[in-house]
A = this chain, B = another copy of it.
Amino acid sequence: MFDEAPSDAWAIRFGDGAPAEADRLGRFFAHRSVRRFTPDPVPEALVRALIGAAQSAATSSNLQLWSVVTVQEASRRKRMAELCAGQGHVEGAAWFLAFVADHYRLRHALAGTQDEPDALGTTEMFTVSAIDAALAAERLVCAAESVGLGICYIGAMRNDPVGVAELLGLPHGTIGLFGLCLGWPDETKPAEIKPRLLPDEVWHRETYRTGSVAEYDERMAAFYESQGMDASIPWSRRSGRRTQHRGVGSRHAWGAILRERGFCTGDEEP
């Protein structure tokens, strides 16, 4: 698995011919979300090495404002799966990692000193935590994929941030951002590389240019058909429907819950 030639992975991803340089970068094009895993264990020492890789990602001002909580006990994993829209792979993966925006560690380290980190309360510093946690997670993912592991991010971990905080014992100043399932891919039920917008639709030269998603809508129709999905609804309309309603769980209240947990309360007007 994950063993397409770079040019083949590029062609599945983008439909068009790969640049010559793609040959050196092939593994990075071959990501897919893996939801079916073998029951084989992933050694704890390998997970520790992967967390070391995550920590090796850049972090703004070296503040390291994120944490990982792993959920391995069966009953607790079951509860996490319930909190994540009942997704079976949350229960079935060898490891489940919850990535957490963490302002508590620094606040706690400085409690009682004169260096109270007040500005952690700004929306900017929440943004820093979210970006840095994601940089860390994706370095972990690239490292994991390089040894044959598969992953699936779980955005549904934001459906019920209060329930997640209870399950993980998260203190004030922390909030679960996203989950990550990790395990050995079940090669009998392979996951597919999903097509993306052309690089030239996402990449703007010097200034932002309004593009078109028509080419992508067509390409995705073929993908939907190959997956046995309704190909008559284009990607753009599907995406519109995804973002038309108030969202699942408490996602419409994510801003209010962030504030309750100590984030985004300290802004000033411009």
Given contacts A73-B206, A177-B131, contact A52 B22 (CB under 8 A): yes
Chain B residues whose CB sits within 8 angstroms of the CB of A33 once the complex forms: 58
Copies in the complex: 2
A118 near B: Cβ within 8 Å? yes
Residue of B nearest to A98 (CB): B204
The interface centre, meaning the residue of A123, A213, A244 with most chain B CB atoms within 10 A of its CB, is A123
A192 to B210, CA, bound (A): 40
Shortest A6–chain B CB gap in Å is 9
Interface residues on A, range: 35 or more
Which residues 189-245 of A have a CB within 8 angstroms of B? 193-194, 196-197, 199, 201-208, 210-213, 235-237, 239-245
Chain B residues whose CB sits within 8 angstroms of the CB of A22 once the complex forms: 49, 52
Partner of A236, one of B106, B122, B124: B106
- The answer to whether B120 and A243 have CB atoms under 8 Å apart is yes
Residue of B nearest to A72 (CB): B206
A41 near B: Cβ within 8 Å? no
Shortest A17–chain B CB gap in Å is 11
User: Which residues of A line the B interface, CB within 8 A?
Assistant: 9-10, 13-14, 18-22, 24-25, 28-31, 33, 43, 45-46, 48-53, 55-64, 66-73, 76, 100, 104-106, 108-110, 113, 115-120, 122-125, 127-128, 130-139, 141-143, 146-147, 151-153, 155, 158, 168-171, 174, 177-178, 193-194, 196-197, 199, 201-208, 210-213, 235-237, 239-247, 250-258, 260, 264, 266-270
